Amino acid sequence: MTVNDQGEVEGTHLRIAEIVQQLHSRPDTDSDTVIAELAEHAAVEIPGAEYAGVTITRNARHIDTPAATHKWPILLDEIQQRHREGPCLTAAWEEKTIHVADLEADDRFPLYRQDALEQTPVRSVMAFQMFIAGETMGALNVYADEPHAFGQQSRDIGLIFAAHSSVAWNSARRDEQFKRALASRDTIGQAKGMIMERYGVDAVQAFEVLRKLSQDSNVPLVQVATQLVTKAQLDS
């Protein structure tokens, strides 16, 4: 890598960090918006990219595409789902980076290759592993219609972008989980208060009533609490 190339990569690194920081500073940004915007930026920032998408998979079985800049990444994930093979799936679970320089000449994923060549104009793929909380794994993927669209600079910047994207998306998802937990706790608290007031029991006994209702109806406790609170609001 030349000095100019290195300087450009460092400049892109700073630009990516700034993009992620701006996403974090927007309090109304949910995880779906975060990953969608990161995919859009990846298609712009990673040299050679025409399209970008994110592939996530749990236990290497079911594949989802939470973000894509075009229909081709979505279709290519459907092909990977159909055949249980492909560069994005492999990047997610096995290798940090997968580079398909020319899909017509690459024989690592024969079933995927056949359908991809028949159904899309994509000829170059570069996939970067993303680390997602839990048992879910993912990959940030970029695509181009021309073969040999991606080089070392694409790899360097893509790895940076995938790392930042992992952090940003995990953070947004944790924030959403925390907000849902707070909302659930508040709803359960309201339902407990209603039971305590109506039946003259303490907080522990009120919670046991909710728990028993949940077990008997095979409905999550927070859903039982929500139903009680909603009914009380409608009746009042």
pLDDT average per 10 residues of sequence, the chain (236 residues): 56 70 65 82 93 86 89 96 93 89 96 97 96 77 98 91 79 61 72 84 83 85 82 76
pLDDT at residue 117, as a whole number = 98
Domain 179-235 coded CATH 1.20.1050.10: no
Handedness of CA 108, 43, 60, 94 (dihedral sign): positive
Q: What CATH architecture applies to the domain 3-174?
A: 2-Layer Sandwich (3.30)
How far the first Cα of the chain sits from its last, in Å, is 71
Mapping DSSP to helix (H, G, I), strand (E, B) and coil, where does residue 109 land? coil
The Cα 191–Cα 209 span in angstroms is 10
The Cα 40–Cα 43 span in angstroms is 5
- For 23, how many CA atoms within 13 A lie in the half-sphere containing its CB? 28
124 touches 148 (CB < 8 A): yes
The Cα 192–Cα 189 span in angstroms is 5
pLDDT at residue 88, as a whole number = 92
pLDDT at residue 3, as a whole number = 44
Instruction: Give domain limits for the chain.
Output: 3-174, 179-235
